Amino acid sequence: MDTSESTKKHKHISRDENKNRTSYGWYCRVTYQKKLHRKYFADKKFGGKEQALKAAISWRNAKEQELGIPRTDRLLYTKSRSNTGVTGVILAEKYNRYDVIWSNAEGKCCKTSVAIKKHGKKKAFEIACKIREEKNAIRLKSELPQKTRNS
């Protein structure tokens, strides 16, 4: 690990350097299904700042794998702000349709819609959810490392 590694941003890992405390280190937090998993990596215990960061990264990766979270440095927001309860699927009552929103592998926001008039409300919702699942799976698959994808 080069010296600039500790200055990079690492998903779920933050630096704790409170001048009023005697210990410094890295704090790792991974949230999955509304449960917080956390661990503190003190510089002193791990033999320095870089080694503590290595340990934190290793723990985070292992914890994500254990929980079944895909390893990506992209921030994934799972809290739904939609009115359907499904992230990325929004009922646009004014236009009598379901809007489906996702981001592609490049991080670009994409959108399509499913007409309620054409499919009926229940079927349109099912179609919209299926589209969202498929698009999200494609994006996540493209973010996996090449050797993982082909195995």
Residue 80 in any domain: the answer is: no
Residue 83 in any domain: the answer is: no
Total domains in the chain come to 2
Burial 56-72 (b: 16+ CB within 10 A, else e): bbebbeebbeeeebeee
Confidence of residue 81 (pLDDT cuts 50, 70, 90): low
Residue 76 in any domain: the answer is: no
Would you list the DSSP string of the chain? Answer: --GGGGGS-BTTEEEE--TTSS--EEEEEEEETTEEEEEEEEHHHHTSHHHHHHHHHHHHHHHHHHHT----SS-------SSSSSTTEEEEGGGTEEEEEEE-TTS-EEEEEEEHHHH-HHHHHHHHHHHHHHHHHHHHHHHS-HHHHH-
Highest mean pLDDT among 39-43, 78-82, 104-108: 39-43
Confidence of residue 80 (pLDDT cuts 50, 70, 90): low
Q: Which domain holds residue 38?
A: 3-67
State whether 18 and 58 are in the same domain.
Answer: yes
Q: What is the pLDDT, as a whole number, of residue 1?
A: 46
State whether 107 and 138 are in the same domain.
Answer: yes
State whether 59 and 105 are in the same domain.
Answer: no
Residue 129 in any domain: the answer is: yes
Residue 113 in any domain: the answer is: yes
- Interval 26-77: pLDDT, tens: 999 998 888 999 999 999 999 999 999 999 999 999 999 999 887 777 666 5
